[in-house]
Amino acid sequence: MISFIKKHKIILIFLILATTLRLVSINQSLWLDEAIGAIEVRDNSYTHLFFEFSKFDNHPPLYYLVLKFWSGLFGYSEASLRFPSILFGVGTILLTYLIAKKIGKKGRKYDSGITRRVSLSSALLITTSQFHIYYSQEARMYSMATFFAALSTFAFLIVSGRFQTLRRFGTLAWILFSLSITVLVFTDYVPIFLIPVFWLYGILKKKDGDWWLRFVASFIPLTILFLIWLPIFKIQAENGRWLLSILPAWKSVVGGATVKQAVLVWTKFVFGRISLLDKKLYFLLIGLASLPILTSFYQATRKKERSVVLIWLWLILPLSLGFLVSFIFPAFIYFRFLYVLPAFYLTISWGIYQIKSKFLSRMVFFTLIAFNFLSFLIYVYDEVEQREQWRQAVSLIEHNAREGDVALFEYPEPFAPYRWYAKGKINALGATDSISADNQKTSKITREIVENKGGIFYFEYLRDLSDPTRVVERVLKEEKFEISEVYNFVGVGQVFYWKR
């Protein structure tokens, strides 16, 4: 045990650091999507999650089943709900290290020193990546999907004969590959764009018939399970098309094939999941952070190593396919491509150590680490960069509510995070007839709610999507209400207190 620790002490330190960074600020308030999942896993059975909830969600069910099992053991605090994502995030760092280490050993001019530096560098870069930290803290499926994307890539390298020392595990490696791609697709749909990478790599490497037979056979479990799942998937697709038809603005939320979305992928990968209010400073930082990355990419392309072909495919092909498919069905949004982030940092690390000048190579590496930590510090110390403050909003409203007051939402019911944190000290109701407000029906519902009420806590959250013509606000004015107080909460937006 002691010898193992000594041999791997640096990566163990990185994993401890990764866990520590991902525990910082983990108790932020749950935001909308997290709260929806939390309520579902708390209040419903595994069967309901699989067969009923999935029909109205746009993701596969596996993450919710894992979260229900976990929360049943460890509870429903913010930290508990998010901890599985931390575990998957730290596991991804270890896999990134292992992938880099083994790919380097198969290079045409194997250099154990460079391989070690590349593997440790890529691990430290993703350890300190604010983008990866953010989604390793979120009670959503993206960290889990990234872990299984890395695991399937690692297993694929084994079955592709990359690691001669592990070939004796043959059948077990194929089973691991088969299981990992199956779990990946049933965790999130967008990572399916990783699957063509494996097929294309096999074609480029001109694998023999026996290899192809095993490779195709490894997709049998995924194919069978997806055929069983297909009726529910069709319902999800129909619901998605219906939502886009009644809420055209929803396309900008879920992501489409636009220049803006493509630029966002770059900016979030480069400088994390933050967006400073001072846009000049923000774009300056993005530009400065991009320079060492572009330098690394350039160096990585100059050195034509066959051993890193898979990494380039992993980085480029899913993003390209996702962008093209989003012309038909929008799904191109940066956080759903978290699963290519390991390839992003593996490519950067490979490029760094192709720079001939050791001084310049180190300067590029430490500049990237510095920008990662800068982004992380901004995230930790600036609450504007953090998640929606529903816990704070609910607490303030329930503390200040008077008898007869009501909380009003631009939705058929109070939003999930409000329901999650509410203690029932004030009546809370939805003011619209559906997720897309009908003028007459919503007016009628709103009038009935505010009749004989003295004060209204009105949430503007998602108003521009569900009620762009401001029907609810117009009714409040017609009923002689006036704005008395305005409260502002990060992510939630403004909460207006209207009184007669």
pLDDT in tens, 211-233: 999 999 999 999 999 999 999 99
Q: Are residues 18 and 78 in the same domain?
A: yes
Q: Are residues 401 and 368 located together in one domain of the fold?
A: no
385, 413, 443 — which closes off a domain? 385
The residue type of 281 is L
Classify residue 480 by its DSSP letter. T
Q: Are 311 and 290 part of one and the same domain?
A: yes
pLDDT of residue 165: 45
Burial level of 240, CB count in 10 A (0-12/13-18/19+)? middle
pTM here is 0.94
Residues 330 and 272 in one domain: yes
Rounded to an integer, the average pLDDT of 173-192 is: 96
Domain count, the chain: 2
Q: Is 463 exposed, middle or buried (0-12, 13-18, 19+ CB in 10 A)?
A: buried
Asked if 359 and 398 sit in the same domain, the reply is no
Q: Which of 287, 279, 273, 148 is nearest to 222 (CA)?
A: 148
For the chain, give the longest Cα–Cα distance: 81
Give the domain extent around 416: 390-499
Cβ pair 184, 194 in contact under 8 A = yes
Q: pLDDT value at position 251? A: 64
Please say whether the beta carbons of 435 and 411 come within 8 A. Answer: yes
DSSP class of residue 351 equals: H
Mean pLDDT of all residues in 47-66 = 93
pLDDT score for 304: 62
Q: What average pLDDT does range 124-134 have in this prediction?
A: 97
Task: Say whether both 335 and 306 belong to one domain.
Answer: yes
496 DSSP β-pair partners? 458, 486
Q: What is the pLDDT of residue 7?
A: 67
Please report the pLDDT score of residue 437 as a whole number. 82
The reply to whether 78 and 170 lie within a common domain is: yes
Which pLDDT score, from 0 to 100, does residue 252 have?
65
**Mean pLDDT along residues 454-480:** 90
Residue 453 tokens read as: 């009420």
Percent of the chain whose predicted confidence (pLDDT) is above 70: 92
Give the helix, strand, coil percentages of the chain, each rounded to 5: 70, 5, 25
From CA 198, how far away is CA 213, in angstroms rounded?
14
pLDDT band for position 490 (50/70/90)? very high
Render 429-456 in DSSP notation, one character per residue. EE-SSSSS--HHHHHHHHHHHHTT-SEE
Phi, psi of 487 (to 5 degrees): -115, 145
pLDDT of residue 146: 98
Residue 498 DSSP label: E
3-state secondary structure at position 24: coil
Give me 500's structure tokens.
């007669």
**So what's the pLDDT on residue 113?**
60
- Residue 497 predicted with pLDDT over 60: yes
Shared domain check, 299 and 417? no
Q: Is residue 169 predicted with pLDDT exceeding 70?
A: no
Average pLDDT, the chain: 90
d(C-alpha 50, C-alpha 460), whole Å: 33
Say whether both 86 and 185 belong to one domain: yes
pLDDT at 255 over 80: no
Contact call for residues 477 and 450 (beta carbons, < 8 A): no
- pLDDT-derived band at 257, boundaries 50, 70, 90: confident
Q: Are 339 and 391 in contact (CB under 8 A)?
A: no
Contacts of 484 (CB under 8 A, 6+ apart): 455, 497, 498, 499
Residue 39 C-beta-side C-alpha neighbours within 13 Å: 17
The predicted-structure confidence for 325-370, as pLDDT tens digits, reads as follows 988 888 899 999 999 999 999 999 999 988 888 899 999 999 999 9
Q: What pLDDT score was predicted for residue 303?
A: 65
Q: What kind and span of H or E run contains 484? A: strand 482-489
Using one digit for the tens of pLDDT, what is the confidence trace for 289-303? 999 999 999 988 876
Of 459, 470, 498, 460, nearest to 482 by C-alpha is 498
Strand, helix or coil for residue 496: strand
Of the candidates 295, 314, 264, the residue with the CA atom closest to the CA atom of residue 150: 314
pLDDT of residue 106: 56
> SS3 for 307?
helix
* Whether residue 375 sits in one domain with residue 419: no
Residue with tokens 């691990």: 123
pLDDT tens-digit readout, 401-460: 988 899 999 999 999 999 999 998 899 999 998 888 889 999 999 999 988 888 999 999
DSSP H or E run through 314: helix 309-325
Out of 355, 385, 415, a domain closes at 385
Q: Which residues contact 251 (CB under 8 A, 6 or more apart)?
A: 244, 330
Give 36 or 167, the one with higher predicted confidence.
Answer: 36
Residues 162, 102 contacting (CB under 8 angstroms): yes
Alpha helices in 332-469 (DSSP H): 341-352, 358-381, 390-400, 416-421, 439-450, 463-466
- Picking from 357, 385, 413, the residue at the C-terminal end of a domain is 385
Do 400 and 305 sit in the same domain of this protein?
A: no
| Separation between Cα atoms, residue 133 and residue 146, nearest integer Å | 12
Q: Are residues 300 and 373 in the same domain?
A: yes
Answer whether 62's CB lies under 8 Å from 183's CB: yes
Which phi and psi angles does 428 have, rounded to 5°?
Answer: -125, 130
Residues near 490 by Cβ (< 8 Å), separated by ≥ 6? 383, 384, 386, 387, 388, 389
* Averaged pLDDT, 236-256: 73
Give the CA angle between residues 235, 149, 309 to the nearest 5°. Answer: 125
Tally: H helices and E strands in the chain: 24, 5
pLDDT of 47 > 60? The answer is yes
As given in the structure block, the two tokens for residue 132 are 């990866």
Distance of CA 243 to the CA centre of its chain: 21
CB atoms < 10 A from the CB of 226, how many? 16
Question: Average of pLDDT values for 115-134?
Answer: 94
**CA Rg value for the chain:** 25
